Amino acid sequence: MKKWNWRIWIGFFLVVLSAVVYIIHFLIFRDSHHIFIFLVADIGFVFIEVLLVTLIIDQLLHQREKRSLLHKLNMIIGVFFSEGGSELLRMLSEYDPQVERIRQELVGNERWNQQGFSETSQRIRGLEFTMDSQKGGLEGLRDFLKEKKDFFLRILENPNLLEHEKFTDILWAVLHLAEELTCRRNLQNLPRTDYAHLAGDMGRAYKSLISGWLDYMLHLKTHYPYLFSLAIRTNPFDPKATPEVTE
């Protein structure tokens, strides 16, 4: 309420000040006709000014600010994938019994354009991922996530991530999987129902990561071709991937 009180007083003061100026003008020139002509004209222009400033200029500035913010967020996303996200994708793919269908979609995408990325991303969103949590030892996955947990939490603390809901969901899915695995003292000989529960958590994180990785790859190809080249050569879904440049 106090916040509005000072604004009301300032508004009242400005209106009174304007009235005083008009009165002084009338006392000097004795021309009320001239005063009302300009008063009505100024009031009429206010609506155009609101249109120009609020709806057009403000919107353009907002879009420019949003592009700048998304550019900075993509830098954070790049750090996430280079420091752990890509390796996590590779590890989770080992629990995917149908990993070959993903490799067919995501390997050899160096010649894709924006339409190609969009179509692939749409197909990925339509897939169901049924992970096999008993396919490999979960201890390695747990240790990796435990090692990277603080790093993921520091990224999540960035207030700008509120503008990137999709990446926030990725982090929450990964952190939840880390917590599920860390909470269990022994990851061997678990009940079948518990393995099924872990498989669901792994599938959620896996699908989110794939979608985020595709978006990031499109960003690299559009803005940073040299970084895109390295990302292609270290594709986590390509078993033959090597950072070395070959023919």
- Asked whether residue 244 is domain-assigned, the answer is no
Residue 161 and residue 167 in contact, taking contact as beta carbons nearer than 8 Å: yes
Residue 69 and residue 163 in contact, taking contact as beta carbons nearer than 8 Å: yes
Is the pTM higher than 0.75? The answer reads no
Burial (CB count <10 Å: 0-12, 13-18, 19+), residue 237 = buried
- The answer to whether residues 80 and 54 belong to one domain is no
- Asked whether residue 246 is domain-assigned, the answer is no
Residue for token digits 């309420």? 1
Euclidean distance between CA atoms 239 and 101, whole angstroms: 14
- The answer to whether residues 123 and 17 belong to one domain is no
Q: What is the pLDDT of residues 20-48, one digit of tens each?
A: 888 887 788 777 777 778 777 777 777 77
Q: What is the pLDDT of residues 49-89, one digit of tens each?
A: 777 777 676 666 666 766 666 777 888 888 899 899 999 99
Return the pLDDT at 89: 93
- The answer to whether residues 50 and 74 belong to one domain is no
**What percentage of the chain reaches a pLDDT higher than 70?**
89
- Asked whether residue 98 is domain-assigned, the answer is yes
- Asked whether residue 158 is domain-assigned, the answer is yes
Domain that holds residue 123: 68-233
Q: What is the pLDDT of residues 93-119, one digit of tens each?
A: 999 998 888 888 888 766 677 777 888
- The answer to whether residues 72 and 185 belong to one domain is yes
Euclidean distance between CA atoms 5 and 56, whole angstroms: 30
Return the pLDDT at 85: 92
pLDDT at 236 over 60: yes
- Asked whether residue 42 is domain-assigned, the answer is yes
- Asked whether residue 240 is domain-assigned, the answer is no
Of the pLDDT bands very low, low, confident and very high (cuts 50, 70, 90), residue 90 is very high
Euclidean distance between CA atoms 22 and 138, whole angstroms: 80
Tokens found for residue 187: 């990851």
The count of structural domains within the chain is 2
Tokens found for residue 164: 């990137």
Tokens found for residue 113: 């354009």
- Asked whether residue 243 is domain-assigned, the answer is no
Q: Encode 57-121 in three state secondary structure.
A: HHHHHHHHHHHHHHHHHHHHHHHHHHHHHHHHHHHHHCCCCCHHHHHHHHCCCCCCCHHHHHHHH
- The answer to whether residues 213 and 123 belong to one domain is yes
